[in-house]
Amino acid sequence: MPPDLIKYLSGFYSLSEEFVSHLRSAQLQKLYKKNQILSQNTSAPLFWFINNGLAKGCYYDADGKEHITRFWKEGEIMLLTHNPIDARVHAQVIVLLENATLSSLSPRRLLYLNNYFTETHKLSGKLLLADRDKADLKSYLCALPSPQGYDEFKKNFPHNRILLKDIACYLEITASSLSEIRRKSRQM
């Protein structure tokens, strides 16, 4: 059975029937193409739930170099939030790595849920914590020796569906270093 947004959110808290009913009617599901870019048009945080597919969050430095901050897979919430203090801890854009089906809510519906249901506030906090955990995971993996970081990466992400250059960028090592690590691990 494919991942479901309401089931995912219910894993955080018990949700009222009225909230679930409004959420179900407000939910938009859309098919996105591989390499499509999602970006933030307002200062309000935006989110998408991945029903199927894979995505990366990234930002570009002043020299145009890509920095990958997150990977998301099926059954996870992707957030685009604004952090004026440090853009490096968040993603400026989300790039879909595969064709994907995403669920979301219109900003208007999200505002309605926020104004009339206390669950929204609780869930917002949990979603922001889950996103922070993704940043912590990246920091942890990058702090490990590269071979160990790659081994841990493979435990957390569908590495066979992610380009080598993207994994190397995420782990903050060169693609040639990652190739060497992979070659050595196959020999063992």
Cβ pair 50, 73 in contact under 8 A: yes
Q: Is 61 helix (H, G, I), strand (E, B) or coil?
A: coil
Task: Render pLDDT for 54-106 as a digit per residue (tens, 0 to 9).
Answer: 999 998 888 999 999 999 999 999 988 665 544 445 678 899 999 999 998 87
pLDDT of 43: 46
Domains of the chain: 5-118 (2.60.120.10)
Give the CA dihedral 163, 167, 180, 182, nearest 10 degrees.
Answer: -80
The predicted model scores a pTM of: 0.88
Question: Does an H or E element contain 140, and which?
Answer: helix 118-143
Give the CA dihedral 170, 174, 178, 179, nearest 10 degrees.
Answer: 140
Task: Tokens for 34, please give them.
Answer: 């591989």
- Long-range contacts of range 175-181, CB-CB < 8 Å, 24 or more positions apart? 177/146, 178/146, 178/150, 181/146, 181/147, 181/150
pLDDT of 109: 85
pLDDT of 41: 67
**pLDDT tens digits for the chain (188 residues)?**
567 899 999 999 899 999 999 988 888 899 999 999 988 765 445 789 999 999 999 988 889 999 999 999 999 999 886 655 444 456 788 999 999 999 988 778 888 998 999 999 899 889 888 888 998 999 999 999 999 999 999 999 999 999 999 999 999 999 999 999 999 888 87
State how beta strands 54-60 and 46-52 pair: unpaired
